[in-house]
Amino acid sequence: MKQEKISPRVIERLTKYLRCLENLNPEDYISSEGLAEKMGFTAAQVRKDLSNFGEFGIRGKGYNIRKLHSDIEKILGVNKTNNIILVGVGRLGTALLSEPEFTKESFNIAGLFDKDEKKIGTEIMGKKIRDLKEIEHFTSSKEDIAMAIITVPKMAAQEVCDVLVKAGIKAILNFVPVKLDIPEGVVIENIDLYGKLQELNYWKERKLK
Amino acid sequence: MKQEKISPRVIERLTKYLRCLENLNPEDYISSEGLAEKMGFTAAQVRKDLSNFGEFGIRGKGYNIRKLHSDIEKILGVNKTNNIILVGVGRLGTALLSEPEFTKESFNIAGLFDKDEKKIGTEIMGKKIRDLKEIEHFTSSKEDIAMAIITVPKMAAQEVCDVLVKAGIKAILNFVPVKLDIPEGVVIENIDLYGKLQELNYWKERKLK
């Protein structure tokens, strides 16, 4: 296992391999060429990505799909349930809660937080909405809450981020279109819908020519 | 203007510069060093990115913020209103409709489509929900609809994608966690929430050590 310097792109591709493998027969074998073709990558890329984490294939036979799926899950740490909290139970937060993917076992939304007094104490999808102020107490009284999703209004985002960091959150999925300041030791992924539309718009204009 | 081979990463960074500039005083000037510091990039990166599209700064003074913002908007084609259609008016689709960013002028949601008969004909946020089957007629009868957002269930995604391509859509923002087959000449951006959580989970485990 040589895990010194893994690029974020490698990890991104691992999640894509996982998604691809999910749609295949777990009893089958697939070659790096076969997997590469499905992904639109090269076979060398597939082999290189996986070689970062060990030996997975069988020479002449390829990868057993069930085994490779399970191995990638282990690498990503999604072979177990990971607790998440969600902050900001507005339309987008509520929509995310009901996404079918969140019914999978790898992620469990363990707590919902908002600062709207009308929402605090009510339930949504069978989960209680708690006061933002309770985050630190909540995360310290439960084990293994290290990840949060932020879907609050723009103005509140940095404040919420600071509260989360103080509460020991190590990974943040941020849907708010602002660049949040985070200290070393915390990772963030920003999902910027508007930015993505702007990017698409650039390429679209070129496709129309 | 040398626009031969622009990398997607350059365009992604342009959207980030734009977002950064929005929060600054439009009358001020900013150096490439100043912009780089705010972005967490290097000044050389900023200068290189912008040099793909012309000369923007004034030597010794830097970039005028209003001018640079307006120039980047022009590059991305978001200095005008671009029409979009949204397919799949479920929880996520509805949540996106009400995102405050969509009230900006660069993107206008010109049509909503669904195949649920209970929804067809009703209105949401003042916009009528139309039958999926009407897409081709709708896009051909209106000018300038070249972009679509897909927020349908997984099973329906490829079918919807094919309909959109047939209807002349050139750019797709896909929220469905499947790899959609698209022909040459169409661009797609996938927003994979679950994949992003899996990535974060990998890095989180390393931060916790």
Coil, helix or strand at residue B157: helix
Between strands B63-64 and B29-30, the pairing is: antiparallel
Q: B24 φ, ψ to 5°?
A: -110, 165
Residue B120 confidence (pLDDT): 97
Chain B CB contacts of A18 under 8 Å are 198
Residue A209 confidence (pLDDT): 61
Question: Distance (Å) from the C-alpha of residue B187 to the closest C-alpha of chain A?
Answer: 7
Task: State ipTM.
Answer: 0.92
Q: What is the pLDDT of residues A137-171, one digit of tens each?
A: 999 887 789 999 999 999 999 999 999 999 999 99
High-pLDDT (> 90) share of chain B, %: 76
The strand pairing partners of B85, in sequence order, are B111, B148
pLDDT over threshold 80, residue A85: yes
Token pair listed for B151: 């927020």
Alpha carbon distance B124, B160 (integer Å): 21
What would the mean pLDDT of B132-137 be, rounded to a whole number?
A: 94
Alpha carbon distance A154, A151 (integer Å): 9
Query: Which of A15, A177, A179 shows the shortest C-beta gap to B101?
Result: A177
Q: Could B95 and A98 be called an inter-chain contact, meaning their C-beta atoms sit closer than 8 Å?
A: no
Residues in chain B, how many?
Answer: 209
Q: How does residue A30 score in pLDDT terms, banded at 50, 70 and 90?
A: very high
Residue A40 confidence (pLDDT): 86
Q: A84 φ, ψ to 5°?
A: -130, 150
Q: How does residue A111 score in pLDDT terms, banded at 50, 70 and 90?
A: very high
For the packed helices A43-51 and A8-22, what is the interaxial angle rounded to 10 degrees?
A: 110
Question: Distance (Å) from the C-alpha of residue B54 to the closest C-alpha of chain A?
Answer: 16
The strand pairing partners of A62, in sequence order, are A58
Instruction: Return binding residues of B for NAD(+).
Output: 88-93
| A90 marked among binding-site residues | yes
b/e code A162-174 from CB counts within 10 Å (16+ = b): ebbbebebbbbbb
pLDDT over threshold 80, residue B1: no
Question: Distance (Å) from the C-alpha of residue A105 to the closest C-alpha of chain B?
Answer: 12
Chain A CB contacts of B170 under 8 Å are 204, 207-208
Q: What is the pLDDT of residues B159-169, one digit of tens each?
A: 999 999 999 99
Token pair listed for B121: 């004909």
Mutating which of B197, B208, B209 best tests the A interface, going by the most A Cβ atoms within 10 A?
A: B197
pLDDT over threshold 80, residue A103: no
Q: What is the pLDDT of residues B9-33, one digit of tens each?
A: 999 999 999 989 988 999 999 999 9
Q: Could A92 and B95 be called an inter-chain contact, meaning their C-beta atoms sit closer than 8 Å?
A: yes
Token pair listed for A99: 């996404």
Q: Give the DSSP per-residue string, A149-189.
A: EE---GGGHHHHHHHHHHTT--EEEE-SSS-----TT-EEE
Query: Which of B147, B194, B195 shows the shortest C-beta gap to A204?
Result: B147
Residue B4 confidence (pLDDT): 61
| A93 marked among binding-site residues | yes
Q: Containing H/E element for A114?
A: strand A107-114
CB pairs under 8 A between A and B: 192
Q: Could A187 and B207 be called an inter-chain contact, meaning their C-beta atoms sit closer than 8 Å?
A: yes
Residue A4 confidence (pLDDT): 61
Q: Please indicate if any CB of chain A lies within 8 Å of the CB of B198.
A: yes
Q: How does residue B90 score in pLDDT terms, banded at 50, 70 and 90?
A: very high
What would the mean pLDDT of B136-149 be, rounded to a whole number?
A: 89
Alpha carbon distance B139, B157 (integer Å): 19
Contact A3/A14 with Cβ under 8 angstroms? no
Alpha carbon distance A53, B14 (integer Å): 34
Query: Which of B39, B147, B203 shows the shortest C-beta gap to A200?
Result: B147
Query: Which of A78, A92, A94 shows the shortest C-beta gap to B198?
Result: A78
Mean pLDDT check: name the lowest of B62-71, B76-85, B200-209: B200-209
Domains and CATH numbers, chain A: 8-76 (1.10.10.10), 82-195 (3.40.50.720)
Between strands B145-150 and B82-87, the pairing is: parallel
Question: Distance (Å) from the C-alpha of residue B148 to the closest C-alpha of chain A?
Answer: 10
Instruction: Give me the sheet containing A82-87, strands edge to edge.
Output: A123-124, A127-131, A107-114, A82-87, A145-150, A171-174, A187-190
Mean pLDDT check: name the lowest of A38-47, A64-73, B54-63: B54-63
Cα–Cα nearest to A17, from A84, A67, A80: A67
Residue A67 confidence (pLDDT): 96
Residue B209 confidence (pLDDT): 61
pLDDT over threshold 70, residue B2: no
Question: Distance (Å) from the C-alpha of residue B60 to the closest C-alpha of chain A?
Answer: 28
Residue B89 confidence (pLDDT): 96
pLDDT over threshold 80, residue A3: no
